[in-house]
A = this chain, B = another copy of it.
Amino acid sequence: MSRSGSMRISRRPLLAGATVSAAMLTFEAASVAQVSAQPLPSWTDGTAKQAILDFVRVTTDRTNKDYVPPEDRIATFDQDGTMWVEHPAYTQARFALDRVHTLAPQHPEWKNQEPFKAVLDNDTAAMGKFSERDWAEILFLTHSGMSQSAFQDIVRQWLQTARHPRFKRLYTELVYQPMLEVMEFLRGNGYKTYIVTGGGQDFVRTYAQKVYGVPPEQVIGSSLVTSFETKDGTPELMRLPKLFFDNDNAGKAIGIDLFIGKRPYAAFGNSTGDREMLEWTGAGGGVRLKVLVHHDDAEREFAYGPAGGLPDTNIGKFSQSLMDEARANGWTIISMKNDWKRIFSFD
């Protein structure tokens, strides 16, 4: 695929990752070779790649003042927009809408009841105006009323056939190859990699091992209340239509402390929902890697965010104030357009 980008994108200011000279590239290529046998092959030799390489080098070097012992090597990754595609709608929202259609025969009342009516009518204009309350109602109803294992079976089945409207691929194929390489590089250097998502913990746990190499116990997400119920002598964990934990925004820092009890040394996000996770990571001592993925490649993926001319969006919102905070605090910004040679494994 061409990487020239649209006119609108090319007018915006260059991001940090794009401001590398030929001389720097030569220098970096040499230092990369010293670190390991060519890690991060899908990355261009820019400041973003170098920030990751430098971070791993200093935190794994016993002679360095910023050395981090293996048991403290924690790296956390947002999922939607950081590890896989989140536009034009979150994958889990697509799943929920499909579930409304599937469940409709058991709910004849939905034909005349919003927000379900709009979904069943495929009224995209109305759906675009759904409130958070509308989405909560859809999510709770489609994600509850069954056992944990039954829910996960439903998710697995859906993921086997559902396809992205633009790429016509399975959602689990729409994972960013450069980010998989970061995860592998970190794990290869003793880091424990966690998914820390505002999305559903049990949803993501169905595929995180296979897709990201991250086991269920390293997936932290939002969750519903579950109840322990014994039916015919067999205990089940049943999903109730009530939020237990909202693992977004401040919830990400709280969730990390709740589930891990250690502060990350590296954190990757792409939206305001990741702000507190990055702040919490950055407030630790020593070297900490704080990274934001910026979606600035309309041709190969999608373009949205704070840079001049890019459309604003509520899905993966990257506010100007987040960009200002990132720049003021030396966070690394990944330009998908400039820092990534390819976006998907099939590119």
A279 / chain B contacts, CB cutoff of 8 Å: 230, 235
Query: Quick check: A283 and B250 within 8 Å, CB to CB?
Result: no
In the complex, what's the smallest C-beta–C-beta distance from A83 to chain B, in angstroms? 18
Query: Quick check: B215 and A228 within 8 Å, CB to CB?
Result: no
> Chain B CB within 10 Å — which of A201, A234, A261, A262 has the most?
A261
A276 is an interface residue with CB less than 8 A from chain B? yes
A260 / chain B contacts, CB cutoff of 8 Å: 216-217
Query: Quick check: B257 and A148 within 8 Å, CB to CB?
Result: yes
Measured CA separation A219–B262 after assembly (Å): 12
A122 is an interface residue with CB less than 8 A from chain B? no
A337 is an interface residue with CB less than 8 A from chain B? no
In the complex, what's the smallest C-beta–C-beta distance from A194 to chain B, in angstroms? 9
Q: Taking the full assembly, how many copies of this chain does it contain?
A: 2
A227 is an interface residue with CB less than 8 A from chain B? yes
Measured CA separation A202–B262 after assembly (Å): 11
Query: Quick check: A217 and B253 within 8 Å, CB to CB?
Result: no
A280 is an interface residue with CB less than 8 A from chain B? yes
Measured CA separation A58–B122 after assembly (Å): 54
A201 / chain B contacts, CB cutoff of 8 Å: 258, 261
A71 is an interface residue with CB less than 8 A from chain B? yes
Measured CA separation A215–B234 after assembly (Å): 32
On A, residues with C-beta under 8 Å from B are 71, 148, 201-202, 205, 209, 215-217, 219, 223, 226-228, 230, 234-235, 237, 244, 250, 253-254, 257-262, 276, 279-280, 283
Given A148-B257, A228-B280, A235-B279, 6 more pairs with CB closer than 8 A: A71-B209, A216-B260, A216-B261, A217-B217, A217-B261, A223-B258
